[in-house]
Amino acid sequence: MTQNIPPALEQELQKFDTMRRNHETLTTMSQALQSELTEVKGTLEELKKQADDVVTYKAVGQVMFKVEKPTLVEDLEDREKTLEMRLASTKKQLEGLTGKLQELQNKIQLELSKQNLRLQ
């Protein structure tokens, strides 16, 4: 049995699919940012336990450079702030997109039920 989906509803389904993929991408990005933030915080915590004159190195790609501890701490603190802002922004985008997805899903389900259609 073939179901004929009206063009307007087909567009809504495509829009929903695109939004869902965007949501998945943002979720993955948020998880990566959270992971990096946790790593930076852990590194900062351990670094702050060390004396100020301790020899420290910073990895840049596959090369390590000797850096002063205060400079490294400052760089990591800046990175931490940046990650926190990006994570907050990503979470806000996710919340908004989640709401829009739910609204669109409800609209699609209502239209499907009005036309006595089912998606498989």
pLDDT digits (tens, 9 = 90+) for 63-95: 999 999 999 999 999 999 999 999 999 999 999
Q: What is the pTM of this model?
A: 0.82
Residue 58 contacts by C-beta under 8 Å, 6 or more apart in sequence? Answer: 64, 65, 67, 72, 75
Give me the residue spans of the domains in the chain.
27-112
Confidence category of residue 3, pLDDT binned at 50, 70, 90: low
CATH, domain range 27-112:
1.10.287.370
Q: Which of 24-28, 107-111, 112-116 has the highest mean pLDDT?
A: 24-28
| Neighbouring C-beta atoms of residue 40, cutoff 10 Å | 20
